[in-house]
Amino acid sequence: MRRRGDFSDIATQTAQPLMARKERPFAMPGKFLADLDAQTAAQVVAAAADIVLVLDREGVIRDLALASSDLLEWGCQHWMDKPWSETVTVESLPKVQTLLEGPASAEGVRWRQVNHPSPTGRDLPVSYTVMRMGRAGYSLALGRDLRPQIVLQQRLVAAQHSMERDYWRLRQAETRYRLLFQTAAEPLIIFKDSIDHIEEANPAAHRLFGDAAKRNTLSLAEHLEPASLSALRQMIDGLRTSGRGDAVTLRLTHGAQTFSASATPFRQDNTPCFLLRLSLLEGTAPAPSAIAAAKQLWPGVIDHSPDAWVVTDATGRVLSANQAFLDMAQLTNPEQVRGHSLERWLGRSEVDFRVLATNLRQHGSVRLFATQLQSEHGLQTEVEVSATACEVDGQPCFGFSIRDMERRLDVDGRGAKELPRSAGQMTELVGRMPLKDIVRETTDLIEQLCIEAALQLTGDNRASAAEMLGLSRQSLYIKLRRYGIGDLGGDSDAPEAEVP
């Protein structure tokens, strides 16, 4: 549907033909387009854009043409005899002024996105270019409706959000699977197609089969008696063909242990897989544990560890400390620390050690607690503490692992004043900054990250980013200047990113 006129009163004044794309303009317009009459010129102009405005010298709209009737719902028919600048939103005024002052020339066509307010409550985004016509001072504003692009952007954002939700659901499911698989007390083995191709085994299976279980190509034939191996293969064959298989009894070649083995089939990447579960039968003696033998080496290993290790009683008084702790505390003799409260050296204030002790009593362990260690001579060292509560010979005690953080590389690339990017890193600020400062600066960081993400998703289209964030354009520009995002040129009404 076309509205308001055929431009016949001004088409005859057109001195230059409509410009083609700047990449390839017409080579001989005077030869092929010189015979266009007013009616034909009007039809060509109207067909070249979704919205065409005829502007006089003062920028007043004297005539217009619309490509479709649905544009009437946006109130375009009411723009007649109004200055073009009165039909656009506040942030689009500088763009309109730029287009009116410098219309497209033979060197190229300049497009600017302009937003029109409408009775629907939403803005109509249109990309305009202006062309000067003849000697009468009239100009043509050719506009392309950007609503389809906005809809596509919104669909893209919705699809990305859906993919992110699916991704995090998969990550959570994988985390739960890993937790159950790794902490299971019974040996669990996953293999593909046959028992000769082990894909994964949990720590209990590694302890049962020894170091050889760490090889991805491990074969159970190395550890099972021939009769047990044959029974296991028959069970797997039954599961592969009928989906059912009774549990079998397995005996290891390197011990007197007897296990009940059951398997569960599943498919992965269109390949049959099996989860094998081994349960130790009652009355069989467990194999000697390599871990038990290794425990005898722990005291020597801990004493020579580069990290500080301290054992205290339930009140926090030191029972034992390794050489690394003595070095950090600038002490020479273990007797200098034995019997004294660890709070004397550990913690920025009295609160730190009380928090550690309270969490140990309530939860049994503390991980990656950031604090300071102060030596006998006043040297302060940033440290990271992990601790656990346990019993030795029936007496409760606390064990502390203290790691020097002074020379740790900043692997995540955060600057000294940059806020943490995760909840775990955020807790490191507790005790270093007041709570109100942590909340305020963290809120600013979240706001900045959301604005940057919205601009990235919309291709730096600030009008669309403001709509996505639920902000007015003026509020978005204030925040852009506040965080130094983009180049607004110091203009309080700087326009959003243009859509060519």
CA angle, 333 then 373 then 422, to 5°: 145
Local confidence pLDDT in tens for the 500 residues of the chain: 444 444 444 344 433 433 334 456 677 777 767 767 777 777 777 777 888 898 988 889 988 888 888 888 888 888 888 999 898 999 989 999 888 887 554 455 678 889 999 888 888 899 998 888 876 788 888 898 888 888 888 888 889 889 989 989 988 888 888 888 888 888 888 888 777 778 888 888 877 776 544 454 556 777 788 888 888 888 888 888 877 778 888 888 776 678 888 888 888 877 888 888 888 886 555 544 545 555 667 777 888 888 899 999 988 899 989 999 998 898 888 888 888 989 889 887 777 788 888 888 888 888 888 888 888 888 888 889 999 998 877 788 999 999 988 766 444 444 444 444 555 556 666 666 677 777 887 888 888 888 888 888 787 888 888 888 888 989 898 989 888 887 655 444 444 443 33
